[in-house]
Structure 1
Amino acid sequence: GRNNRQNDRLTLRQAQDDDIWLHTKNIPGSHVIIRCPDGQLPPENVLLTAAHLAAHYSRARGSSNVPVDYTRRRHVRKPSGARPGFVIYDHQRTIYVTPDTEMVKALKAGL
């Protein structure tokens, strides 16, 4: 999502339980979803690309070695009364990426 309300809609309404949800760890940013209709984990290159997107569209864009958490969407929930875009999650794993602006530009060009 590009803002907190879009993050809520993407994560809580559009994503399915088996999809993979990604977000920068303890850093404001966009939620990223990888569709997993068969329940299988995506290939590592897809996971890394999604992590790059999460890092790029966060406040850590200019940083290096950005921690990005990922988990199944079923492990992401919104606490009662929480502000838009705020979620809690568990069963996560963390990968570290350095945002790559050129990769994001190439992905956008390919759409």
Structure 2
Amino acid sequence: MAKNNELWFHVKDLPGSHVVIQSTDPDQTTIHEAATIAAYFSKARLSASVPVDATLVKHVKKPNGSKPGYVIYDNQTTYFVTPDEEEIAKLRDK
């Protein structure tokens, strides 16, 4: 469903969910919220200053023969966020 020019987020080097912003020009608040969601729904949920990589969907690839869910990507920007259950609850209520 994600388009090539949308931003894709995933916690760096750990299992977790990915997040896609379905906009070609998201603001900084939306970027922060997406990174926080990706960090919260990962193995780093209880950590502080979690690195979350973001790149355009067109830079995300699944290598042939790789395990389900495994992807590689490049041209990323890394954001550092602290997962916060209260912030996630507020986002769910939006």
Q: Which TM-score band applies after superposition, normalised by the shorter structure?
A: over 0.9
Q: What TM-score, normalized to structure 1?
A: 0.82
**Equivalent position of 2:36 in the other structure:** 52
Q: Take 1:46 and 1:109, find their aligned partners in 2: how far apart are those partners?
A: 15
The alpha-carbon deviation at position 109 of structure 1 amounts to: 2.0
Q: Take 1:67 and 1:26, find their aligned partners in 2: how far apart are those partners?
A: 9
* Structure 2, unpaired ranges of 5+: none
Q: What TM-score, normalized to structure 2?
A: 0.96
Output the aligned Cα RMSD.
0.8
Q: 1:82-97 to 2 correspondence within 5 Å?
A: 82-97=66-81
Q: Take 1:85 and 1:55, find their aligned partners in 2: how far apart are those partners?
A: 17
**Equivalent position of 1:6 in the other structure:** none
Q: Take 2:92 and 2:77, find their aligned partners in 1: how far apart are those partners?
A: 27
Q: 1:8-47 to 2 correspondence within 5 Å?
A: 14-36=1-23, 39-40=24-25, 42-47=26-31
Q: Kindly indicate which of the two structures has a greater share of residues assigned to helix.
A: 1
Q: Take 1:105 and 1:45, find their aligned partners in 2: how far apart are those partners?
A: 16
- Identity over the aligned pairs, expressed in percent? 46
* Structure 1, unpaired ranges of 5+: 1-13
Query: Runs of 4 or more off by more than 3 Å in structure 1?
Result: none
The aligned length equals 94
